[in-house]
Amino acid sequence: RQRYLGYCTHMSHDAELRCRCGEIAGRVRDPAPQSVNRVICYCDDCQAYLHHLGRTDLLDEHGGTDVIQVAASSLSFQRGAERIVGLRLSPKGPYRFYTSCCQTPLGNMVSPAIPFIGIVAQGFQGADDCFGKPIGEIYGQYAIGSTPPGSDKLNLRLMLRVIRLMLSWRLGGKAWPHPFFDRTTGASKYPVTTLTPAEREALRPLCGPRPAAR
C-alpha cells in the first residue's frame, strides 16, 4: 500500500501533498515556519471528522490532529481533483474536503471569506523541515485521557499569530485563487454533504468529553 505522504523539496520551494493511495497530488508553494501556523487541535469536531472518515490513524493518543494552516492561494492540486469531495458536520460548520478514493483529508476552512486552510501534517513527508514543529495545542478540554498541559486555556500568542497571518494573507492577495471555492460564485467547486444531527450525534461517544451546550 502506498503511504499517505508528500515531501518538501527545497529546490522547487514547494511542499508536496499526496493522498494515501496516490491518486491525488497537490502542493503548497514556498513553505516556511514563519508563513504558516501549526498546532495540535483536540476539538471534538476534528476527532469526529476523522472517525467519520475511518482515519483515526491520523489522531494522536489524546485525539489530537496535527494541523498546518496555510494561505488559501498557496495550495493547489495537480492531479486527481475530480476525486475531491466535501463534508460539513453541521449546516454552519467548517468545510472539510477529503478524497473519495482513500478518505484522506485535504483541507479544512471556515469559509472562503477567511483565507486559511488547515491541512493534516501527515500529508507531508518532512513536515518539520517544511513548516517547523507545532507551536501550540488547542481545545485540550476535549482531549482523550489526560489534558495536555496548557492546551485547555486561551493561548493569546497563538491567537495573535493567526490574526497577523490572516491579515497578511488578505492584504497580500493570498485569499484567491482558492483550491476549493469559485471566486465568482463563492460556491464550492466540489460536492459537499452535511451530516444529519443523528449522524453527528452518533460520533460523539467515539471522541473526547462532550462539548458544553452551545
**80 dihedral zone (left: phi>0; alpha: psi -120 to 50; beta):** left
- In sequence order, the β-bridge partners of residue 118 are 69, 108
In this prediction, residue 128 carries a pLDDT of: 94
The three-state secondary structure class of 200 is helix
Confidence of residue 7 (pLDDT cuts 50, 70, 90): low
| Mean local confidence (pLDDT), 119-135 | 94
Give the H/E segment covering residue 96: strand 95-99
For 86, 87, 113, 155, the CA distances from 94, given in Å and listed in that order, are: 10, 8, 12, 21
Kindly report the average pLDDT of the chain as a whole number: 92
User: With pLDDT > 70 as the criterion, what percentage of the chain qualifies?
Assistant: 93
My answer on whether omega of the bond before 177 falls inside 30° of 0, hence cis, is: yes
Q: How far apart are CA 5 and CA 19, in angstroms?
A: 7
Cβ-based neighbours of 167, under 8 Å, separated by 6 or more:
none
In this prediction, residue 125 carries a pLDDT of: 80
| Mean local confidence (pLDDT), 85-103 | 97
Torsion angle, alpha carbons of 201, 205, 210, 213, to 10 = 20
In this prediction, residue 212 carries a pLDDT of: 60
Helix, strand, coil % over all residues of the chain, rounded to 5: 30, 30, 45
- Retrieve residue 1's grid coordinates: 500500500
Contact 109, 118 (CB under 8 A): yes
The alpha helices in the chain, defined as continuous H runs, are: 44-53, 127-131, 156-171, 197-203
